[in-house]
Amino acid sequence: MNYRKKLFALLLLVLPWLSLYAQDEDDNSNPPTKPAGYYTDTVDLASAPLRVNQQYPLSDQSNTDGWKLNKELSDEFEGRKLDTDRWHPNNPGWKGRQPTYFHGSNVSLRKGELVLKINQHGDEELPEGYTHTAGFIKSKKRLKYGYLEAEMKLMDAPWVSGFWVTNVSKDWWTEIDICENDPGVIENSHDLHSNIHVFRAPPEHGDVKEHFMRSKTYYLPIELQQDYHVWGLEWNEEVIRFYIDGVLFREAKNTHWHQPLEININNESNKWFGALPDERTDREFHIKYMRVWTKE
């Protein structure tokens, strides 16, 4: 076989593989690592609006809905220390999901950002069942309806980065997860999770005795941990709307979430997300701001 024939035979062997690779690179609608139907939809960030001001939500820069900034609940994280008039510097009612213990040593402000780290507790002995520590802040005031927004850079390690609201009381236990993602787990690197929970409700609201949730996962062509992104929640009596970089990607009917809710920001392990601790202690969760808008 001469040189040209050998080259032609090699091309016939290689070209089908090259075309398959090119197809996989271009086709982000159903990535091969997830089964068909896993994703609710693909989120197109090419339609993301431009930020022209900091006064209003990214998705409503002209303020057509009449939002007014709630300065008591909002925080630009510009000081040297966390504002403990506004925030609990740790979770006062939850130690953490084993094996991760919430510890105030992991919470700090640096260069105009809230930074949540892991395993900054030094040689302190942890309670039985806990091997790692993470950070948690919780608002001291509650909010009923409004628009919440935070610009954040998630952890690039197998840890969940969270921004969420909740109410845990005698009659009610509800939760809305604005951001609950672990893109540092390679299998989830293109996942955008969205979840709302009801753990407990009084009889007049269905007497919920067993936890139920409405969970959806969306496909993102990018990996969230590679840059800062803006998460938004619009919450009113009728609907709950979820935004990423000003793009509406989910709307859910509000059937139970009518209680004043506390604001939470944290990082944590979570076996249901495949986010189990490793030793990459240099990874950080960065939050530029957390803003709340309400209507008159």
- Which pLDDT band, with edges at 50, 70 and 90, does 208 fall under? low
> In this predicted model, what pLDDT tens digit does every residue of 143-157 receive, in sequence order?
999 999 999 999 999
What is the rounded average pLDDT of the residues 234-240? Answer: 97
pLDDT of 196? 96
pLDDT(52) > 60: yes
The pLDDT of residue 4 is: 47
Cα three-residue angle 113-240-135, rounded to 5 degrees: 30
Q: How confident is the model at residue 3 (pLDDT cuts 50, 70, 90)?
A: very low
Cα torsion angle, 47, 227, 22, 35, sign: negative
Lowest mean per-residue pLDDT among 2-16, 200-214, 250-264 = 2-16
What is the percent of the chain where pLDDT is above 70? 86
d(CA 235, CA 147): 6
Rounded to an integer, the average pLDDT of 116-138 is 96
Give the confidence band of 36 by pLDDT, cuts at 50, 70, 90: confident
Distance from C-alpha of 222 to C-alpha of 257, rounded to nearest angstrom: 31
CATH number for the 43-294 domain, one of 1.20.1050.10, 2.60.120.200, 3.40.980.10, 2.60.40.10?
Answer: 2.60.120.200
**Mean pLDDT score, 4-32:** 39
SS3 for the chain, per residue? CCHHHHHHHHHHHHHHHHHHHHHHHHCCCCCCCCCCCCCCCECCHHHCCCCCCCCCCHHHCCCCCCCEECCCCCECCCCCCCCCCCEECCCCCCCCCCCEEECHHHEEEECCEEEECCCCCCCCCCCCCCCEEECEEEEEEEECCEEEEEEEECCCCCCEEEEEEEEECCCCEEEEEEEEECCCCHHHCCEEEEEEEEEECCHHHCCCCCCEEEEEEEECCCCHHHCCEEEEEEECCCEEEEEECCEEEEEEECCCCCCCEEEEEEEECEHHHCECCCCCCCCCEEEEEEEEEECC
**Is pLDDT of 25 > 70?**
no
Q: What is the mean pLDDT of the chain?
A: 88
Domain boundaries of the chain, sorted by first residue: 43-294
Residue 209's pLDDT is 61
What is the rounded average pLDDT of the residues 225-247?
Answer: 98
Using pLDDT thresholds of 50, 70 and 90, give the confidence band for residue 266.
Answer: very high
Tens-place pLDDT, residues 54-89: 999 999 999 999 999 999 999 999 999 999 999 999
Rounded to 5 degrees, what angle do the CA atoms 71, 77, 81 make?
A: 115
pTM for the whole structure: 0.87
- Residues of the chain with pLDDT > 90: what percent? 75
pLDDT of 261 strictly over 50: yes
Instruction: Work out the pLDDT band at 90, boundaries 50, 70, 90.
Output: very high
Other Cβ atoms less than 10 A from the Cβ of 146: the count is: 19
How does residue 246 score in pLDDT terms, banded at 50, 70 and 90? very high
* pLDDT reported for residue 119: 94
Q: How confident is the model at residue 277 (pLDDT cuts 50, 70, 90)?
A: confident
